[in-house]
A and B are shown apart, each in its own frame.
Chain A
Amino acid sequence: MTNKLAVFLVVIIILIGGCAMTQREHAISSSPSAEPENGARKFPHNISAEHVKAAFEEYANYRLWYYPDEHNPHIDLQSHIGKEINADMLVFESDPDHIYLRTEASESLGIIVNKDGFVYLDGFVEPENPNRLYPQGKHAKVATIKVKINEPRKPNYGTSPRKVNMIQAAERYAETLCKDFLSGEESALWENADNYILDFYEYQDIIGIWWIRKDGYASTTPVQIIENNHAFQSHGIKGYSIADFTKHDELYTSEKRFIADAVKRMACRP
């Protein structure tokens, strides 16, 4: 690839990321009107039904893509592939900071989060779970949406200039680890180990990093990215290792799919 072409592609990627940001901000300003269901006040959040629909679709796709065999006690996504699910957007007086999603497919409620403009479905809560407070009391129905559960595909993690900076911070961290591994007693084992930075949603602050050594040993060394005055710092998080990672095709399917979808691949070389 020539340098000019590379620069052109980077510019296009940044422009696409910029457009996505603009669309998201525009959509946030167009929330639908709320109809109180139990006499509660109107929903105060600046989130649209389109956001919630997209968040539910992305959540369902993510679960089906990385955890196809998962038994989800809240909602059976597998059996809904190719079908539509109706869902009400609710806000409760007991938890006015969140939108909840009540689907026809489950008694559990989905939790919608708006973090710095990124709207996503942060899982479900069930009425009987003593470890998690289920919202109680008066609530308002903000809107009803229909969500089609499609065949899973690689998640749409999105891109932006900020995300590029986060990836670069993760790369710098991986390079530091590589130098450390190559300077210690086990250096020969780490030479030419493949290194993968997993893709991520921008609202996440912990990024997965995997290392696969030539002897089949693999290790994940997550990194937390902390933004401070527009600078991105990295902070190691506890991971784990797998001795026989490449020796069993049938095992570690989720890990292998995450690695296949990595946003960056490098090698650990002296």
Chain B
Amino acid sequence: MQITACRNNALNDSNFGKPIAYSSNWYSSLSDLEILTRLLYGENTSSNLADQNAAAWVVINRKLENRSMFGGNTFRGVATASGQFQPITGGSEGTRDARNPSTSSSAWKNALWSACTMLTTSNTTHYNDFIPKPTGISNHLYFVGLNYFFSANVSIDDSPSGLKINFGDGTYVKMKDVVIVFDTHSAFQNPSSKSAITSDSRLDTYDERARHNIFFNI
């Protein structure tokens, strides 16, 4: 099977995933496979692999959308689009995990599997078969880290129910299809307010939120 071969070849390549010092174009000489793997790994290095799979689906959905702001219709273009994915185009600290991956971790191996799938086939059915889509995730195009989401001036409640997010220009945009992934079959969908999230026993502390992104559309 091609995906398995792709994964095994990469795992046996001592240069694949080696540490890279920071520069603004640190990723430019890497293969598409390695950029995608480092991106997905950097977006969630924890044991919450379902959340990482949801991030993979955002990458897939953006490629299928083929919008210039998302980097067009190639995975490399989507992954390296300016200001879109912090693990690739962020600064020293934002890219640190992607530049220095733990290649023995389950998160790295899961990211590699997803990247191999994305580059081995262009058939959406195959994507569905090999990258399990967590409950609530469909055509999502956006996510941010959950702790960042609760930082000052990033998000507000939307009356009477729902959430809004500020992409950095001071304007708050209504969020739709909001999902926080716990595992493949369990998610917190469409929270009514920020406090509905922060009072959830699984998300009410900094360390619990650190394992999660929040996925949405606008």
Q: For the complex, is A186 an interface residue (Cβ under 8 Å from B)?
A: yes
Chain A residues near B169 (CB-CB < 8 A): none
Q: For the complex, is A137 an interface residue (Cβ under 8 Å from B)?
A: no
| B 167-204 to A, binary, CB cutoff 8 A, 1 in contact else 0 | 00000000000000000000111000001101111101
Which of A139-147, A163-171, A204-212 is the contact stretch?
A: A204-212
Chain A residues near B187 (CB-CB < 8 A): 131
Q: In B132-168, which residues have CB < 8 Å from any A CB?
A: 145, 147-148, 151-153
Contact residue among A71, A72, A208, A221 (Cβ-Cβ distance under 8 Å from B96): A221
What is the minimal beta-carbon distance from B30 to any residue of chain A, in angstroms? 16
Contact between chains at A208 and B207 (CB < 8 Å): yes
Contact between chains at B102 and A122 (CB < 8 Å): no
| A 145-158 to B, binary, CB cutoff 8 A, 1 in contact else 0 | 00000000000000
| A 211-226 to B, binary, CB cutoff 8 A, 1 in contact else 0 | 1000000011110100
How many interface residues does A have (CB within 8 Å)?
A: 49
Contact between chains at B100 and A252 (CB < 8 Å): no
Docked pose: A189 CA to B87 CA in angstroms? 19
Count of chain A to chain B residue pairs whose CB atoms are closer than 8 Å in the complex? 126
Known: A72-B195, A181-B93, A184-B22. A238 touches B202 (CB 8 A): no
Q: For the complex, is B94 an interface residue (Cβ under 8 Å from A)?
A: yes
Docked pose: A235 CA to B201 CA in angstroms? 24
Chain A residues near B199 (CB-CB < 8 A): 72-74, 123-124
Contact residue among A125, A198, A251 (Cβ-Cβ distance under 8 Å from B201): A125
Contact between chains at B152 and A241 (CB < 8 Å): no
Q: Which residues of A contact B (CB under 8 A)?
A: 67, 70-74, 111, 122-125, 129, 131-132, 177, 180-181, 183-186, 189-190, 198, 200, 204-208, 211, 219-222, 224, 235-242, 248, 251-252, 255, 258
